[in-house]
Amino acid sequence: MEFSASRLEISMGLTLSHVVGSFLAPLLGQAIDQYSLRLIMTLGTLSVVSGFIAISLADTLLEFYLAIGLFMALGTSAMGMQSSIKLVANWFILKRGMALGIATMGTSLAGILMPPITTALIDTVGWRNTFVVFAVFTFCIVLPVIRLIVIDKPEKVGLLPDGRKVKNPQFEQAEIAGHKPGSTHTFKLSDAARSLKFWNLVVVFGVLHGTLGAILIHLIAFATDRGISSYEAAYYLSLSAITGIFSKLLFGWLSDRYDVRIPILLVIGFMGAGIYILTLSPDNLQLAAAILIFGIGSGGVAPLRSVVVGKAYGRMKVASAIGLLRLFTMPLVICGAPLTGWMYDSQGSYQNAFSMLLVSLSLIAIFTLFLKLEDVDRINLLR
C-alpha cells in the first residue's frame, strides 16, 4: 500500500469487515425477511461499488478502514450470503440442500480464480486501478444481473417453491410460507435467548468455522516449516478449494435425503481426519491427502449451516436467524486462527494447537447428536 501500511494492518481491515458485518447481520436479516430482497441486494451492490472506489482513493490507513467498515461490510452482506440464502430458501424446500450447495460453490470458485486474477491486475495496472476495475465490473455486470434475474419469491410469478403451480393461492401460499396473518415473520433476539436449539447451532457452527479459519490461515506456514516452498504450499491450499466445490454438492444432496445430523457428522469426521494426519509429521504426499480430506469436510460447512437454519426456522425467518447466528458465532470464528498462532509461538510447534482443534471437533460431534430439528417448511408443505 502507498500509505506504508504493514501486512498486519492491511489484514486487520479484513477482520474489521468481518466484525462489522457480524454486528450488522441481525439488523440486515430483519430487513431481508421483511422487505424486497431485490431492493436490498441492489443497495448492497451499490455499497460494494462505493467501497471499491473509496479503497482506490484511500490515502491513509484510517480511510482504508472506513471504506472497509462502512461500505464493504454492509454491501457484501446485503448482496451476498444472507440474501442468497433467503433467495434459495424462498424458491426451494424439497431440494434446498442441493440448491444451496450450487449457490455456495461460488465461494470455492472465487477462491481458485480471484487470487491469480487480482495478482495479474495489480502487476498490470496497480492496486488502485485494480479496485476501480472491480467497481466497474460490479456495477456493469453484477448489478444488471440482480435487477434482471432476482425475483424475491415464486409466489410473485404464480408459483410455489420447487416450481409447483398454485392451485388455491390464498390457502397454499399461507400454508407453505408457514405463517398466519398477524404472526411474526422474523427471528428476534428474544427468540434466540430462550432457544436451546439456537445455542447448540452457535457452538457447532462457531467451532466448525473457527477450525476452518485456523487451518486455512496456518496451513502455508505449517507446510513451509516442513521444507516446502511457499509456491508449493499455495498449490496445496488450492486443493482444499477444489475439493470444496464438489463437497458442497455432495453435502447439499445428502441433507435433502437424510437426517441433517448425518452430513454434519461426516463434515466433522472429514475435517478431523485431515487434521489428525497433520499431527503425524506427514510427508508431501500425506500432506496433500490431509488437505484433500480436510477440504471435503470444510466444503460442506457453509451449505449445511444454511440448510440447518432453513430447516429450523423456515423460509420466513431464515435471514434474521442466520444474522443472529453469525453475530453469536463471531467470537468462536475469530479466535481460532489467533489462538492457533499463539500456541505455535509459545511452543514452537503446531502439534498441540491441532490437537486442541481435534478435541473441539469431538465435542461438537456430541452436540450434533443432541441437535433436534424439524423441517418447518417441509412440514407445512406436506401437511
Domain identity same for 36 and 114: yes
Domain identity same for 286 and 157: no
| pLDDT over 80 at 323, yes or no | yes
Domain identity same for 208 and 171: no
Domain identity same for 145 and 286: no
Q: What domain range includes position 202?
A: 189-382
Residue 182 lies in a domain: no
Domain identity same for 222 and 86: no
The DSSP bridge partners found for residue 159 are 165
Domain identity same for 194 and 324: yes
Domain identity same for 169 and 204: no
SS (H, E, C) 257-276: HCCCHHHHHHHHHHHHHHHH
> Would you state the pLDDT for residue 11?
61
Number of neighbouring beta carbons within 10 Å of residue 370: 10
Counting every residue, how long is the chain? Answer: 383
Average pLDDT over residues 302-331: 90
- pLDDT-derived band at 191, boundaries 50, 70, 90: confident
Number of neighbouring beta carbons within 10 Å of residue 43: 16
Domain identity same for 172 and 195: no
Positive/negative CA dihedral, 316, 319, 321, 322: positive
Residue 109 lies in a domain: yes
Answer left, alpha or beta for residue 178, where phi above 0 means left and psi between -120 and 50 means alpha. left
Residue 310 lies in a domain: yes
Taking the C-alpha atoms of residue 41 and residue 47, their distance in angstroms, rounded to an integer, is 10
| pLDDT over 60 at 173, yes or no | no
Domain identity same for 146 and 196: no
Which stretches within the chain are classed as H helix? Answer: 7-34, 37-57, 61-66, 73-79, 81-91, 96-125, 127-137, 143-149, 169-177, 189-193, 196-225, 230-257, 261-278, 284-298, 301-313, 318-347, 351-369, 376-382
Positive/negative CA dihedral, 375, 93, 108, 19: negative
Residue 301 lies in a domain: yes
Q: Output phi, psi for 276, to 5 deg.
A: -60, -40
Domain count within the chain? 2
What CATH number is associated with residue 288? 1.20.1250.20
Contact 381, 161 (CB under 8 A): yes
Residue 184 lies in a domain: no
Q: pTM surpassing 0.75?
A: yes
Domain identity same for 245 and 143: no
Torsion of CA 197, 177, 305, 300, to 10 degrees: 140
Looking at 109, 142, 177, the residue that finishes a domain is 177
Looking at 110, 143, 177, the residue that finishes a domain is 177
The DSSP bridge partners found for residue 165 are 159
**Which of 6-10, 25-29, 140-144, 309-313 bottoms out in mean pLDDT, i.e. has the lowest?**
6-10
Question: 162 vs 1, 94, 302, 377, 380, CA distance in Å?
Answer: 48, 7, 21, 12, 14
